[in-house]
Structure 1
Amino acid sequence: MSGDIIVTAQRRSESMMRVPIAISAISQDDLAKRGITSTAQLTGTIPSLQVNSPYGDSQPNFTIRGIGVANEHNPNQASPVGVYFDDAYIAARAAHGLQLYDLERIEVLRGPQGTLYGRNTTGGTINFISRRPTLSGTSGDVQVGYGNYNNFTAQGALDTTLVKDVVGLRVSANYAKGDGYIKNIAPGQPDLNSTNSVAARAILRIKPDDKLDITLKGTYGRSNPTQAAIYDLGTGANGFNPVLGTSRAAKGLGFFEVDSARVGRSFIESYGTELIVKYNLNEAIQLTSLTSYDHLKQAFSQEGTGLESPVFTQPLDTLYGNVFTMFNQELRAAYSDDRTNVQAGLYYGYDKDASDSYYWLFDGAAMIRQKYDQVRRSYAAFTQADQKIGSHLSVTLGLRYTHDTGRYQNYEAYQVPASAFTGTRDISAFSPASGTYFFGGYDAASGQLVSGPTLKLDSSALTGRAAINYTFDDGKMLYASYGRGYRAAAFCGQCFFGPTIITTKPEQVDAYEIGAKGRFFDRMLSLSLAGFIMNYRNQQINETIGTETLLRNVDKSRIQGVEAEATLRPAKDLKLNLSGSFLDATYQALQLSGGDLSGQRLPYAPRWSASGSLDWTMARIGDGTVTLTPSFVYTGLVYFTPYNNLAGNVNLHQNANTKINAQLSYNTAHYGVRLWVSNLTNAKTFADGLDERASFGYDYLIQTAPRTFGASLSYHF
């Protein structure tokens, strides 16, 4: 009774229950039923997956099995969880805050993926897969919705066949706009964490015969919400901030309220294109070429205190400006028959981050500008073979060699006099001629900036995977695997006082995993289990010293755990999904300025997490069905810093909590009505936190959304 879910985790179509990898897949319909509309809301829906960010829904940070960017929030850093959109690697983390619309599914591969997805995948891979044209007939859908906080949404898709079985076009779009869900009591200022986005996608597919299949995709997206609210919790008694001279309690602020002057916005605009050409030489051999280009502009203006102070109106005010250019080219050849599957390929990746950021500190008492261009290139060759031995046993062997180059160039960092401060985010005040330079300089005779020297950082690695699996006659499978993952060496993104400590070593993970998958009770129950041990070296993390953030390496960490996923369908009208994980992720050797952190837990790695949903068709009325879909996500204690609770970091964590969502819908073949609620119990939780005690006397925390609810209407044709 439980149908197959077809995935392409190994770059070929196969049942998820036959892939010897810890993999989860979630469809667009499942996302809607759980109330998930953006990648930032995926926390806990997949075993061992956490999504955190100090920027709200913008620039989410993915963590799988405790491996993520940790407390490193600079946009120039590559995520150790490789994020792909239709198999194309997306380097810029600001592009990871996708609006989830018109997708076929999301595939999440847990653990290092060192062969087929080899670029920066020490933690795993997330692949967002679009719906493609069907090449048959015309179909589509339109949906509009409205919720509290004046939240209006609209989305639609049209799939049309231009030449039957040969040429098809699918276009889709998504729009969302709403007020901020964090109330701002500052006079004349908007509420925070608003919604303001538009996105569109067009896919042209040409399949002139059984040999050739061409897919051309174009995308556009734009978002400009108010910044994420900052819940600043003073480190003194009762949350009193000795620097700001006040506290949240003294102002009578509720949990979902702030007092933020000069609110910023998280502006992102992107566009891109992708071309995938597949050609079947014969029934056994297929050639594939993937080419993609993406461009993204990011401008995050941020007031960084959350309180309007009688002493300092704006102790921390920033404008992070970044322009990303990304390119991928991959060539693959695949051979497949009844017993053997072999893939081999070459990959080239390029990305550039042109960064230009401004810092107004203590009402302009310190005004700093920082500029640089970061250019990264990645070259790789890979191959993977899957061989069936006898009728039950199969082995997998994959290898990938990667060479990465990094260049940090056109670097300038300087401070201008406080007298230039205008009381606004006026960047014209940052005159290079009046600057005191930390790095780089100014030639008065020519009136030109003099950049610092180009810094180079190259790294290489041999990664891969070896696995063995045994499949029983009834389809149940046992597997064991070893995998090695790698993340390239990196530059520090906010070391504006000089290049003394700005680079890190490449990361490496050795992972050992055993697992089992199968169906039971006449296919009524589908079950997947995985146990793993991972040795993690040179994790790249942040260390904040005063007002500067430095990039460090962790010598050694050990991560071990167990994951489970189950789907039970006891009756035609009832389906239950459950998943959970136990994770023990600790530092074995880590020395920071605050002391020895060996034995501390990795941030964003809860010991226990679980999620579940129930699809219950309650009644059939007329031509339609009434379905109730409640769901929950449980997340254990999460630390936001490697220090855990040491060195006064008592506020930088989120205690264990449960979020409950629900949906009630009525659907016919053409119409649908949906009522939904998210965070039903109005749980008060934090998504992230930063230590600003040394600079401003408070801890910087980011609230998650309160209870939200609404309704939508849809039409399918």
Structure 2
Amino acid sequence: MKTAIGFAALLAGVSLPVLALAQEATQGTVLEPIIVTAEKRRAESKDVPASIVVKTGETLSLRKTKRREDAIAAEPNAQTGAVTAKLYTSFTAIRGVGSALIESDPSVGIYVDGVGIGNAQAHSGTLLDVDRIEILRGPQGTLYGRNNIAGSVNIISNLPDPDHTGGEIGMDFGRFGTLGTTGVFNTPIGDNGWAVRGAFSASKTDGFLHSTVDGSDLGGGKDVHGRLSIAGDITDNLEFLGIVDIERQVLDGEMFGMPEADFLKGSRGVAVDDPTRIDSDLVTASGQLTYQLDNGDKIVSITGFQKSAVGVSGNGFPVGYFAAYDALFQSMGFANFRYRSDNPFDGRYRQWSQEVRYVSEDNDRLNWVAGLYGEFSQASRVYGANSTFTGGEATLSTRGDTDTVSLSAFADGTYALNDQWKLFGGLRVGHDRKTFDYDFNANATAQLLGLTGAFAPGYSAKLSEAYVTPRIGLQFEPMDGLNLYGGISSGYKSGGFNSGFVGLGDEGAYDSERVISYELGLKSATLDDRLKVEASVFYIDWRDQQVQGFNALTGATPISNAPRSESWGGELSVAYDLDDHWTLTAGAGYADATYKDYRNARALDGSGSVDVSGNQQQFVSRFTGSAGVTYQWEAGWDDLVGKVGVNYRYRSSYYFDVQNTISQKGYGLVDAYAGLENDRYAAYVFAKNIGDLDYRIVAADLGTGKLLSPGDPLTFGGSFKVKF
């Protein structure tokens, strides 16, 4: 705790001099206020008593940030990635909270136009026609409910505009055979205030790796994404917004990794003869009704439906990775035996949700929101492990089906005690009920080879738990443009069941997670809002963390609970519009996330348990930061505006495993863009990872050596779009 207090003092020592210097700067352009709906009611970002990052769709487009996970990972104290393969085992953490899990609920809630993506496997996807992204750091259990213990990400699309007819068509191209197209169209429907908006994108890339067996490309894929929305007034007081969003993603040549020795030599080739294919589909439909009351308050109803599916086939392992296993069974008379020649997976998820809330946001002293939320979901996961030999096959498969019913009631608000002090707080009360059915199957050959003895037979189980997630705090505004706040908030993440190759002794439920977060922060907007400085410090007490284990002897990935973990640190961000041309941004984060008490972690070699108390959390860097500069000017021809930007992102070293044996050293990436744009067309060039830095994004040891996947090398290209 002494270290945390020292870090708070450090942030104050950095941010307060910046504020002092700002008072001496010259006056200039006034920035538009940043309006957010993070608290489910409209407010300026600088007035929200929480650490929040807002990125506009224009900024994301200029930086060529095309995916949800990339937008999150670009911010301090946020990490995203995959545990084994993209689209299969997604991982997201904020402030060090976010276990590397395959089968459990997410730790970070991701919401697209008000509907949560409940299946973590569907968190990866493209950004299409986005107005803004709001990233809230810290537990959001009061307003967003279960499974938001690390934070929440709101992705808000551009909505239909009844006063405008038009759109745009764009093309993108880049290194490694990357091609893409986008289209947006908006039109009023008649003259009664209704409008419809459509958006579409399609892209493909060949990938930057290749198979040394047949020369085929690895790491490539395709993506098709479409959205249709309609909005209008049903009556003078009742508004409707309907959205249907469909996305299909395909990875044609994914792999579970290249040998570490090849990566260290700078190789771009991997000896894979049956690359993994991953198909991901996500469909979301929502209907929102907003009723405006005569007193200015409103009642909002959001009905959502979501369906996702992920399919995996192929081997994906380098040839010879399981040579020791192959030799063992070949010595038993099974000619040409190949261990895990195919690793099929089929995951399906359906979710129905309903939220009704009352919003009061225009009062002088008390602004609040209260509501009810209900969710029902069905998840089915089928895992397979097939081994082949001359004239036969040994097959194992499991199926886990989970039905979830979640109900909750919540209220949250801010009360102005006087002109300077405000009290904020809220409470959510909820209940989760889960039912689970598990089946294990093996053919006669698998039983003969003794591949089944370590796995549990089929069983059924239930889980029922109530939870309460309050928050409370104070805001203080000593002067115009300076907001200080401090608060305590809590979060809850639902327990669940292991569903993939459950080992003997791992039957039944693992426990839910609980966090309590303590946070202090300041937000300042000076120089006519041209300079914005935000700083925050936090301490998170994390109980019963759900941790994914791995048994190299069986391939099982059981989840167990770490009794106590913690994370502490802070963030500092500065954004400064020097004048009409130059803008500077910088951000830094520190998160010391560790297992405080975890004495029975699963050993990677399957030998039993190990004590990892004090170890660093997986995939979490202690230091993260970014800095950028942009310059824009009038070209003096055809109303064109020139735009140039350079951005730098850094993250310190981190580990890929609980035992802290496989690591990636710290690295920084430089990106840049330049282009010209007016109201009719735009043209840009860009480059990412300009230094062509080699780094790992996935690494694991599955029993016979380290495998890893490298990050994207230097990529460059251009884009052109026509507006109408």
* TM superposition score normalised by structure 2: 0.88
Tell me the amino acid that sits aligned with residue 225 of structure 1: L
Tell me the amino acid that sits aligned with residue 628 of structure 1: V
Tell me the amino acid that sits aligned with residue 680 of structure 1: I
Tell me the amino acid that sits aligned with residue 45 of structure 1: A
Conserved 8 A contact 2:254-2:316: no
How far 1:688 sits from its partner (Å)?
Answer: 2.2
**Distance (Å, rounded) in 1 between the aligned partners of 2:33 and 2:314:** 46
Give 1:653's aligned residue.
663
**Distance (Å, rounded) in 2 between the aligned partners of 1:554 and 1:419:** 34
**Distance (Å, rounded) in 2 between the aligned partners of 1:264 and 1:181:** 16
How far 1:508 sits from its partner (Å)?
Answer: 0.4
* TM superposition score normalised by structure 1: 0.89
Q: Does 1:568 align with 2:595?
A: no
Conserved 8 A contact 1:503-1:551: no
**Distance (Å, rounded) in 2 between the aligned partners of 1:309 and 1:551:** 26
Give 1:551's aligned residue.
559
How large is the Cα RMSD of the aligned pairs?
Answer: 2.3
**Distance (Å, rounded) in 1 between the aligned partners of 2:428 and 2:521:** 24
Conserved 8 A contact 1:414-1:436: no
Conserved 8 A contact 1:214-1:276: yes
Give 1:635's aligned residue.
651
Give 1:475's aligned residue.
481
Tell me the amino acid that sits aligned with residue 349 of structure 1: E
Give 2:687's aligned residue.
677
Conserved 8 A contact 2:87-2:121: no
Give 2:66's aligned residue.
37
How far 1:391 sits from its partner (Å)?
Answer: 0.9
**Distance (Å, rounded) in 1 between the aligned partners of 2:404 and 2:99:** 18
How far 1:226 sits from its partner (Å)?
Answer: 2.1
Task: Flag the 1:227–1:172 CA change in 2: closer, same or farther, 3 A.
Answer: same
Tell me the secondary structure at the aligned position of residue 381 of structure 2: strand
Give 2:350's aligned residue.
325
378-387 or 590-599: bigger deviation: 590-599
Give 1:582's aligned residue.
590
Q: Does 1:528 align with 2:543?
A: no
Q: Does 1:13 align with 2:42?
A: yes
How far 1:498 sits from its partner (Å)?
Answer: 4.6
Equivalent of 1:56 in 76, 86, 92 = 86
Equivalent of 1:306 in 318, 321, 329 = 318
**Distance (Å, rounded) in 2 between the aligned partners of 1:503 and 1:227:** 35
Equivalent of 1:707 in 708, 714, 720 = 714
How far 1:496 sits from its partner (Å)?
Answer: 3.3
Q: Which runs of 5+ in 2 are unaligned?
A: 1-29, 327-336, 602-607
**Distance (Å, rounded) in 2 between the aligned partners of 1:58 and 1:151:** 22
Task: Flag the 1:227–1:123 CA change in 2: closer, same or farther, 3 A.
Answer: farther
277-286 or 705-714: bigger deviation: 277-286
Give 2:499's aligned residue.
493
**Distance (Å, rounded) in 2 between the aligned partners of 1:35 and 1:620:** 22
Deviations 1:17-76 (A, max 9, x none): 111111101112211222211123235421211001022356531110111132x223xx
Task: Flag the 1:464–1:220 CA change in 2: closer, same or farther, 3 A.
Answer: same
Percentage of identical aligned residues: 23
Q: For residues 30-179 of structure 1, what are the structure 2 equivalents within 5 Å? A: 30-42=59-71, 44-53=73-82, 54-56=84-86, 60-70=90-100, 72-74=101-103, 77-164=104-191, 166-179=193-206
**Distance (Å, rounded) in 1 between the aligned partners of 2:274 and 2:444:** 22
Q: Does 1:214 align with 2:240?
A: yes
Deviations 1:630-651 (A, max 9, x none): 111101111111211xxxx2xx
How far 1:682 sits from its partner (Å)?
Answer: 1.2
Equivalent of 1:614 in 629, 633, 648 = 629
**Distance (Å, rounded) in 2 between the aligned partners of 1:496 and 1:589:** 25
How far 1:469 sits from its partner (Å)?
Answer: 0.2
Conserved 8 A contact 1:330-1:347: yes
Tell me the secondary structure at the aligned position of residue 550 of structure 2: strand
**Distance (Å, rounded) in 2 between the aligned partners of 1:58 and 1:665:** 36
Conserved 8 A contact 1:260-1:308: no
**Distance (Å, rounded) in 2 between the aligned partners of 1:468 and 1:395:** 5
**Distance (Å, rounded) in 2 between the aligned partners of 1:81 and 1:643:** 24
Deviations 1:480-499 (A, max 9, x none): 01000000111113233456
Conserved 8 A contact 1:305-1:315: no
**Distance (Å, rounded) in 2 between the aligned partners of 1:368 and 1:146:** 43
Tell me the amino acid that sits aligned with residue 23 of structure 1: I
**Distance (Å, rounded) in 2 between the aligned partners of 1:436 and 1:701:** 30
Give 1:396's aligned residue.
424
**Distance (Å, rounded) in 2 between the aligned partners of 1:595 and 1:108:** 36
How far 1:711 sits from its partner (Å)?
Answer: 0.9
Deviations 1:286-310 (A, max 9, x none): 1111101111121022424233569
**Distance (Å, rounded) in 2 between the aligned partners of 1:161 and 1:78:** 40
**Distance (Å, rounded) in 2 between the aligned partners of 1:518 and 1:642:** 39
Deviations 1:415-453 (A, max 9, x none): 2244899xxxxxxxxxxxx9999555xxxxxxxxxxx44
Give 1:462's aligned residue.
468
**Distance (Å, rounded) in 1 between the aligned partners of 2:315 and 2:679:** 48
Deviations 1:284-335 (A, max 9, x none): 3211111011111210224242335694585433111011111111111122
Give 1:427's aligned residue.
none
Tell me the secondary structure at the aligned position of residue 176 of structure 1: strand
Tell me the secondary structure at the aligned position of residue 116 of structure 1: helix
Conserved 8 A contact 1:285-1:333: yes
Q: Does 1:204 align with 2:230?
A: yes
Tell me the secondary structure at the aligned position of residue 680 of structure 1: coil
Deviations 1:387-430 (A, max 9, x none): 11111111112000111111111x21122244899xxxxxxxxx
Give 2:612's aligned residue.
597
Tell me the amino acid that sits aligned with residue 56 of structure 1: K
Deviations 1:137-175 (A, max 9, x none): 202111111111111100111111113361010000110
**Distance (Å, rounded) in 1 between the aligned partners of 2:510 and 2:139:** 20
Tell me the amino acid that sits aligned with residue 709 of structure 1: F
Tell me the secondary structure at the aligned position of residue 218 of structure 2: coil
610-619 or 372-381: bigger deviation: 610-619
**Distance (Å, rounded) in 1 between the aligned partners of 2:192 and 2:540:** 47
Give 1:429's aligned residue.
none
Equivalent of 2:435 in 407, 429, 433 = 407
Q: Does 1:272 align with 2:284?
A: yes
Conserved 8 A contact 1:174-1:198: yes
Give 1:445's aligned residue.
none
**Distance (Å, rounded) in 2 between the aligned partners of 1:42 and 1:186:** 35
Deviations 1:351-394 (A, max 9, x none): 21122221125868752111121111211111112111111111
How far 1:227 sits from its partner (Å)?
Answer: 4.4
Task: Flag the 1:164–1:18 CA change in 2: closer, same or farther, 3 A.
Answer: farther
Tell me the secondary structure at the aligned position of residue 164 of structure 1: coil
Give 2:254's aligned residue.
228
Give 2:375's aligned residue.
349
**Distance (Å, rounded) in 2 between the aligned partners of 1:454 and 1:332:** 36
**Distance (Å, rounded) in 2 between the aligned partners of 1:567 and 1:3:** 13
Give 1:716's aligned residue.
723
Tell me the amino acid that sits aligned with residue 67 of structure 1: V
**Distance (Å, rounded) in 2 between the aligned partners of 1:26 and 1:629:** 15
Tell me the secondary structure at the aligned position of residue 11 of structure 1: coil
Tell me the amino acid that sits aligned with residue 536 of structure 1: W
**Distance (Å, rounded) in 2 between the aligned partners of 1:42 and 1:123:** 16
Conserved 8 A contact 1:232-1:307: no
Tell me the amino acid that sits aligned with residue 318 of structure 1: N
